[in-house]
């Protein structure tokens, strides 16, 4: 007797089958049944929870009876099983597929009605269930939900994305080198930890175990299940040598002659390699800054909110790079008249070598000439927009229980306006998407207007504002504003239940959103202010009536991102100034506080920090707060009534200091007062 999956051709012996049946709660005597078959599920990064592998079932003949032909059993469970088959056949198929996979989906919070919807589409299209449930399709299951389902079915531990920021890449490289291994490319399988002289290997699905054994033969290891994105992040941050790749192209560019046929192609490849390196490092911005002496310029990155210099470009290379960026954006004539805002456009040839960024990222370029007399002295800033980023789940953002409860209640409302505020790059969009992802996209119609659409969701009706054309003398900002206003007016006629609008920048948008909130819609948006209470001065500047705002506003969440200390090298912070800052506070137990300070090690490139996390404050709109807003009360009175003293931005940052997660310097940077 053997069992052969159609796809892989792997055969199962009776001893292997006995193990499968034992794992499923059946005795070895089940092998003596006249007709037996087993089904193992396959879950991979693209088809997690999809279906059991189709297997060829070989009938176990009874005495003196010829062996019947093989029966193909597919994931639909609709094959007719011979009457002579035991009930075990049906039980194993149905129970495994239904109770294991469906129960896992239910545990992930996927309602049965959503499972039913996905199964109906599956019957029509033959797609896998989790492809249908993925973010780009119905959005019923998050990528991390996929990983958790994988882990449950593989009976392995789940590796969350929060762990990726503290991977000891230097230790892993040292271990691999000592055992004669090198990570030259991303295989979808990755060591994430060295533990007691063996490797902990991250995989995305159970079947990766065989590949892991081939990749790391002779090395003792254990497995954890992670999402593909988490493993990619670990690879890019710790093992990919994108900086060396970029500099190799730089040296080729230096040697190239202008008349060479491939000179322009080489220049383009170098620029794209710098952009790829920035993406791999998790940078939010790339800056091309000319030197004052006109000797060249620096390529700068902003990683985790901190600037760093990637490389200096001498004048011969610098002039080529800047000329290429100006020409590529069609800004040759406009750059002499002032700043130019453009979208970086991909060329057909870019996709061959740089598909990992062309298929995922967008780049917005700001070109800033120094003066009219120095039109070629241009600073270029590129904003990196990850358009396929898997948004965080709400419980991963680590809100306290009361804040989380309040935000969840807001998502259950039918009307009103909710604001998330903070400076550029503070994670506002991530928070908004995490909130809206808790809503049922089937029963509630979600529509958004964004620039750009940062995270694509299949059941959402998402619209992107139009960009400036080459003849638009007002530039991208004005074109975007006009487009946003028109789209918003049109959206209100498209029967949305929930509206997401990217950002309030002008008064006409503020009035349109308030009108939407007052006519049966729940609206979410952002605003660039530092603290929650400062939204009121902005609205007053727009000419908004405060009683109207007070009656429609449902909450204001202000947030920032602070650097987190590297867990591999941080040391206790015993400075008197730090200890004094944590003393005499009702919300911090000074005796249990364990503040830490940065040191620096190979795992954090000597910076002492790895990653960032959010701090926040929530202005809750109670009847008392609403009265104060309607009365146009001073901000200090509104804060006192709506934000508890232990839940301000500064207070929450001090809590992180007490836990040893960030530094007192990073916390003080969020204070509204100068501390001496």
CA distance 557 to 619: 6
Is residue 669 in some structural domain? no
Question: Two tokens at 214?
Answer: 């081939």
pLDDT given at position 205: 87
Mean pLDDT of 139-166: 89
Q: In terms of pLDDT, which residue wins out, 38 or 255?
A: 255
pLDDT of residue 59 exceeding 90, the answer is: no
Residue 519, SS3 per DSSP: coil
Rg, Å, the chain Cα set:
29
pTM over 0.85? The answer is: no
> Could you tell me if 228 and 257 lie in one domain?
no
Find out whether the peptide bond into 483 is cis, omega within 30 degrees of 0: no
pLDDT given at position 676: 60
Residue that terminates a domain, selected from 238, 255, 277? 238
Q: How confident is the model at residue 656 (pLDDT cuts 50, 70, 90)?
A: very high
Residue that terminates a domain, selected from 386, 406, 423? 386
Q: Are 518 and 415 in contact (CB under 8 A)?
A: yes
> Could you tell me if 357 and 431 lie in one domain?
no
Is residue 580 in some structural domain? no
Within 10 Å of residue 365's Cβ, how many Cβ atoms?
22
Output the DSSP codes for 90-110: HHHHHIIIIIIIIHHHHHTT-
Give 461-470's long-range contacts (Cβ < 8 A, gap of 24+). Answer: 461/494, 461/496, 463/487, 463/491, 465/502, 467/342, 467/343, 468/341, 468/342, 470/330
pLDDT given at position 92: 52
> Could you tell me if 211 and 346 lie in one domain?
no
Q: In terms of pLDDT, which residue wins out, 157 or 331?
A: 157
pLDDT given at position 50: 38
Is residue 604 in some structural domain? no
Q: How confident is the model at residue 36 (pLDDT cuts 50, 70, 90)?
A: very low
pLDDT given at position 485: 76
Q: How confident is the model at residue 113 (pLDDT cuts 50, 70, 90)?
A: very high
Mean pLDDT of 43-65: 39
Q: Are 614 and 622 in contact (CB under 8 A)?
A: no
> Could you tell me if 161 and 88 lie in one domain?
no
> Could you tell me if 515 and 435 lie in one domain?
yes
Q: In terms of pLDDT, which residue wins out, 145 or 657?
A: 657
- Total structural domains within the chain: 4
pLDDT given at position 155: 92
pLDDT of residue 541 exceeding 90, the answer is: yes
> Could you tell me if 278 and 341 lie in one domain?
yes
Q: How confident is the model at residue 478 (pLDDT cuts 50, 70, 90)?
A: low
Is residue 148 in some structural domain? no
> Could you tell me if 248 and 234 lie in one domain?
no
Output the DSSP codes for 310-332: EEEEEHHHHHHHHHHHHHHTT-T
> Could you tell me if 472 and 546 lie in one domain?
yes
> Could you tell me if 123 and 169 lie in one domain?
no
Domain residues for 315?
Answer: 242-386
pLDDT of residue 89 exceeding 50, the answer is: yes
Is residue 143 in some structural domain? no
CA distance 435 to 411: 7
pLDDT of residue 81 exceeding 70, the answer is: no
Is residue 190 in some structural domain? yes
> Could you tell me if 97 and 175 lie in one domain?
no
Is residue 459 in some structural domain? yes
Weakest-pLDDT range from 59-73, 96-110, 129-143, 239-253: 59-73
Is residue 566 in some structural domain? no
Q: Is the dihedral of CA 111, 117, 120, 124 positive or negative?
A: negative
- The CATH number assigned to the domain holding 277 equals 3.30.450.90
CA distance 244 to 247: 5
pLDDT of residue 40 exceeding 60, the answer is: no
- The CATH number assigned to the domain holding 227 equals 3.30.300
> Could you tell me if 261 and 402 lie in one domain?
no
Mean pLDDT of 424-442: 90
**Residue linked to tokens 């090198």:** 182
- The CATH number assigned to the domain holding 451 equals 3.40.50.300
pLDDT given at position 468: 54
Mean pLDDT of 247-264: 85
Residue that terminates a domain, selected from 138, 171, 199? 138
> Could you tell me if 507 and 641 lie in one domain?
yes
Mean pLDDT taken over the chain:
82
Mean pLDDT of 476-481: 60
pLDDT given at position 604: 87
pLDDT given at position 489: 82
Q: How confident is the model at residue 42 (pLDDT cuts 50, 70, 90)?
A: very low
pLDDT of residue 393 exceeding 50, the answer is: yes
């Amino acid at each position: 007797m053997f069992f052969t999956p159609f796809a892989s051709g792997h055969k199962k012996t009776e001893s292997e089958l006995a193990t499968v049946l034992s794992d499923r709660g059946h005795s070895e005597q089940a092998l003596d049944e006249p007709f037996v078959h087993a089904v193992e599920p396959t879950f991979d990064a693209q088809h997690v929870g999809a279906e059991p592998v189709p297997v060829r079932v070989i009938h176990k003949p009874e005495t003196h009876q010829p062996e019947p032909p093989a029966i193909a059993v597919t994931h639909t469970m609709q094959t007719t099983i011979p009457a002579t088959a035991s009930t075990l056949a049906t039980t194993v198929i149905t129970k495994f597929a239904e109770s294991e996979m469906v129960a896992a989906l239910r545990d992930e919070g996927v309602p049965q009605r959503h499972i039913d919807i996905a199964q109906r589409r599956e019957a029509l299209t033959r797609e896998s269930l989790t492809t249908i449930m993925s973010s780009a399709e119905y959005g019923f299951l998050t990528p991390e939900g996929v990983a958790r389902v994988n882990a449950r079915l593989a009976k392995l531990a789940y590796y969350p994305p929060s762990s990726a920021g503290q991977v000891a890449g230097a230790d892993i490289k040292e271990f691999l080198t000592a055992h004669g291994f090198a990570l030259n490319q991303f295989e979808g399988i990755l060591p994430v930890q060295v533990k007691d002289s063996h490797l902990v290997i991250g995989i995305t699905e159970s079947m990766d175990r065989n590949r892991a054994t081939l990749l790391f033969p002779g090395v003792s290891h254990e497995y954890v299940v992670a999402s593909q994105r988490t493993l990619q992040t670990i690879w890019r941050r710790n093992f990919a040598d994108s900086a060396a790749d970029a500099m190799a192209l730089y040296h080729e560019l230096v040697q190239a002659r202008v008349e060479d046929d491939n000179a322009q192609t080489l220049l383009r490849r170098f620029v794209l390699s710098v952009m790829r390196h920035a993406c791999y490092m998790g940078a939010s911005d790339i800056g091309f800054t000319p030197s004052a002496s006109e000797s060249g310029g620096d390529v700068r990155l902003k990683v985790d909110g901190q600037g760093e210099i990637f490389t200096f470009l001498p004048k011969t290379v610098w002039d080529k790079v800047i000329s290429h960026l100006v020409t590529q954006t069609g800004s040759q004539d406009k750059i002499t008249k002032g700043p130019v805002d453009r979208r970086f456009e991909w060329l057909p040839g870019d996709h061959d070598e740089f598909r990992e960024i062309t298929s995922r990222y967008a780049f917005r370029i700001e070109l800033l000439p120094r003066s009219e007399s120095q039109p070629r002295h241009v600073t270029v800033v590129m904003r990196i927009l990850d358009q396929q980023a898997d948004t965080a789940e709400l419980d991963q953002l680590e809100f306290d229980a009361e804040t989380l409860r309040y935000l969840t209640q807001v998502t259950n409302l039918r009307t009103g306006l909710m604001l998330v505020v903070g400076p550029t790059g503070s994670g506002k969009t991530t928070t908004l998407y995490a909130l809206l992802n808790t809503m049922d996209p089937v029963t509630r119609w979600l529509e958004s207007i964004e620039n750009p659409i940062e995270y694509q969701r299949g059941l959402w009706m998402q619209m992107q504002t139009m960009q400036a054309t080459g003849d638009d003398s007002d530039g991208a900002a004005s074109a975007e504003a006009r487009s946003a206003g028109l789209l918003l007016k049109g959206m209100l006629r498209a029967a949305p239940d929930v509206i997401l609008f990217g950002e309030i920048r002008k008064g006409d948008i503020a009035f349109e959103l308030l009108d939407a909130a007052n006519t049966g819609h729940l609206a979410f948006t952002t605003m660039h202010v530092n603290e929650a209470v400062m939204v009121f001065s902005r609205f007053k500047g727009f000419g908004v009536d405060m009683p109207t705002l007070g009656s429609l506003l449902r909450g204001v969440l202000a947030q920032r991102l602070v650097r987190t200390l590297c867990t591999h090298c941080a040391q206790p912070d015993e400075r008197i100034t730090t200890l004094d800052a944590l003393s005499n506070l009702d919300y911090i137990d000074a005796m249990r506080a364990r503040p830490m300070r940065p040191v620096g090690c190979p795992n954090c490139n000597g910076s002492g920090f790895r990653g960032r996390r959010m701090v926040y404050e929530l202005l809750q709109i109670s009847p008392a707060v609403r009265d104060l807003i309607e009365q146009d009360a001073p901000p200090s009175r509104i804060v006192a009534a709506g934000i508890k003293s232990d839940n301000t931005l500064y207070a929450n940052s001090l809590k992180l200091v007490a836990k040893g997660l960030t530094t007192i310097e990073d916390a003080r940077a969020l204070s509204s007062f100068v501390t001496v």
